């Protein structure tokens, strides 16, 4: 088996000499096998190994004994050991998801934390050939395209590696037996209480007995073939993504609609999936969710939005499709400040300020600065305030007879909906005098009768 494993490592470039590898070890046969085969390769690859164990707090005394077993084993072999106790059942409730998904997240969060803490290079996971077959079947029954059916990758993000993907569970158990290893048995794996367990314990044995005794290896081969096809397709997708993606910042990707709309439907789907992946979400986004995303994009309703699993949100803007990692951001509450003569206004909600002064009309030129505007001071018949918008606000844009709804102005100017909530407005009574950063009102403009000018200067961000 070591020879087979070595071939997998070399073919997929899973290890480099001098790597520090974090090994996820539950105490079961798969992870114990992984730990010891890496230990066998330790000198050849000059590896440093550390172990992370997660106690999911689902099996009481058995789970505690698993933790003790792995800890003692690491002590015996001189391997640094890190353990976490995480109540996965409570975590699943908070996440509004199942225990399987909560447990997966808990494990990867812990692995990444120790990776950063120890400045390690790789995280080794003990998924094997049987896991690959089970994953393909699970995705097939749930509904998946080629990307999902390509199965589990040998390597992800250059960090997460799965050296046992070409090794069957039968080979793993034989390795443990031959080397006198005594892994722990998780009794919940013998109960058909989770989807994967049902596939492992009920569906696969049925397929083996009634259709093909080599179903595991055949499904594994199918995943490998589809993975090759997927890689070929993504050589085109990556080029399309570079052309469409006009901005990528932390937790946000912008895709240019004009270029995106020219793509083949198969590429369109994968551009969206790649954007989601770039935001750190590598789990399956279900076909139903992806179709919903494509639907709101095709409808082209500006400001349409859709929330997806894993805190992902997709919004259709005027020019861009914006995909964000929507982490529990507090809603903007708005503000209203009265402009009192003699005092400038500090707008703490925007870290901004509004300055003013009154000057005699001496033929000043109209300011072209978006944040400095002149008004006829004597046309203001009520106190001035600077505030955020209210339902029913109306505005008379400079040069236009009559008024229009502020909402309609925002739509005409193609201002994104989320941005509208934070735009400060200078108002006189019920009249909007200045949409700061955009337009001034025709009702308060300077004309030939103006004697005194109100000069308002907005500073978008106060310097520290």
Considering the entire predicted model, what is its pTM? 0.65
Tell me how far apart the alpha carbons of residues 272 and 364 are, in angstroms, rounded to a whole number: 51
Average pLDDT, the chain: 87
In this structure, the answer to whether residues 61 and 206 fall within a common structural domain is yes
330, part of any domain: no
Residue 298 pLDDT:
87
pLDDT value at residue 132: 96
Domain assignment of residue 180, yes or no = yes
Number of alpha helices (DSSP H) and beta strands (DSSP E) in the chain: 17, 22
181 and 313: one domain?
A: no
Listed as ranges, residues in the chain with pLDDT below 50 are 328, 462-464
Query: Does 51 reside within a domain?
Result: yes
Specify if 139 maps to a domain: no
Residue 143 falls inside a structural domain: no
343 and 321 housed in the same domain:
no
Question: For residue 462, what pLDDT is reported?
Answer: 42
- Does 270 reside within a domain? yes
Please check whether residue 251 is in contact with residue 279, taking contact to mean a CB–CB distance below 8 angstroms: yes
Domain edge (last residue) among 274, 295, 325: 325
Query: What pLDDT score was predicted for residue 464?
Result: 31
Question: What is the number of domains present in the chain?
Answer: 3
Predicted pLDDT of residue 420: 84
- 346 and 452 in one domain? yes
Segments forming the whole domain that contains residue 68: 2-127+162-211
How many Å from the N-terminal Cα to the C-terminal Cα in the chain? 63
pLDDT at residue 8, rounded to an integer: 95
In a domain, 464, yes or no: no
299 shares its domain with 435: no
Q: Are residues 18 and 72 in the same domain?
A: yes
Same domain, 344 and 296: no
Which of these three, 281, 306, 325, is where a domain ends? 325
Q: Where are the beta strands (DSSP E) in 349-402?
A: 352-360, 372-376, 384-387, 394-395
Residue 36 near residue 167, CB atoms below 8 Å: no
In the block, tokens 């002590």 appear at 75
The predicted structure's pLDDT at residue 463 = 35
Predicted confidence at residue 350, as pLDDT, reads 83
DSSP class of residue 398 equals T
**Do residue 283 and residue 368 come from a single domain?**
no
The C-alpha atoms of residue 192 and residue 197 are separated, in whole angstroms, by 5
Q: Is residue 249 domain-shared with residue 178, that is, in the same domain? A: no
Residue 176 located in a structural domain: yes
């Amino acid at each position: 088996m070591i020879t087979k494993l070595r071939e997998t490592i070399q073919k997929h470039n899973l290890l480099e000499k001098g790597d520090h590898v974090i090994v996820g070890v539950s105490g079961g046969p798969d992870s114990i096998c992984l730990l010891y085969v890496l230990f066998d390769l330790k000198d050849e690859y000059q590896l440093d190994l550390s172990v992370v164990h997660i106690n999911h707090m689902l099996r009481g005394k058995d789970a505690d004994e698993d933790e003790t077993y792995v800890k003692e084993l690491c002590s015996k072999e001189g391997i640094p050991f890190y353990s976490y106790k995480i109540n996965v059942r409570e975590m699943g409730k908070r996440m509004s998801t199942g225990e399987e998904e909560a447990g997966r997240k808990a494990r990867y969060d812990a692995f990444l934390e120790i990776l950063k803490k120890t400045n390690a290079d790789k995280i080794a996971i003990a998924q094997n050939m049987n896991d690959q077959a089970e994953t393909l079947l699970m995705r097939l029954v749930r509904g998946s395209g080629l990307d999902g059916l390509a199965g589990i990758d040998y390597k992800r993000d250059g960090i997460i590696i799965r050296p046992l993907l070409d090794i069957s569970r039968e080979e793993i158990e034989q390795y443990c037996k031959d080397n006198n290893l005594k892994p722990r048995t998780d009794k919940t794996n013998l109960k058909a209480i989770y989807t994967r367990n049902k596939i492992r314990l009920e569906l696969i044995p049925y397929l083996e007995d009634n259709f093909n005794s080599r179903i595991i290896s055949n499904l594994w081969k199918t995943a490998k073939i589809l993975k090759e096809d997927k890689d070929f397709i993504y050589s085109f997708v990556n080029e399309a993504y570079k052309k469409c993606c006009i901005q990528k910042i932390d937790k946000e990707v912008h895709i240019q609609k004009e270029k995106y709309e020219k793509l083949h439907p198969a590429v369109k789907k994968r551009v969206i999936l790649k954007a989601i992946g770039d935001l750190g979400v590598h789990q399956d986004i279900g076909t139903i969710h992806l179709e919903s995303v494509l639907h709101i994009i095709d409808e082209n309703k500006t400001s349409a939005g859709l929330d997806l699993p894993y805190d992902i949100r997709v919004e259709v803007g005027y020019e861009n499709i914006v995909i964000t990692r929507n982490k529990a951001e507090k809603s903007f509450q708005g503000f209203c400040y009265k402009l009192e003569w003699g005092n400038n206004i500090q707008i703490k909600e925007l870290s901004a300020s509004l300055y003013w002064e009154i000057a005699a009309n001496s033929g000043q030129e109209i300011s072209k600065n978006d944040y400095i505007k002149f008004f006829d001071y004597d046309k203001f018949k009520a106190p001035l305030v600077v505030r955020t918008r209210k339902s029913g606000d109306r505005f008379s844009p400079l040069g236009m007879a009559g008024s229009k709804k502020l909402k309609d102005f925002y739509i005409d100017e193609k201002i994104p909906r989320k941005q509208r909530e934070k735009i400060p407005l200078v108002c006189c009574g019920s009249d909007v005098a200045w949409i700061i950063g955009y337009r001034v009102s025709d009702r308060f403009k300077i004309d030939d009768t103006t004697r005194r000018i109100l000069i308002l200067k907005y500073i978008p961000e106060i310097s520290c």
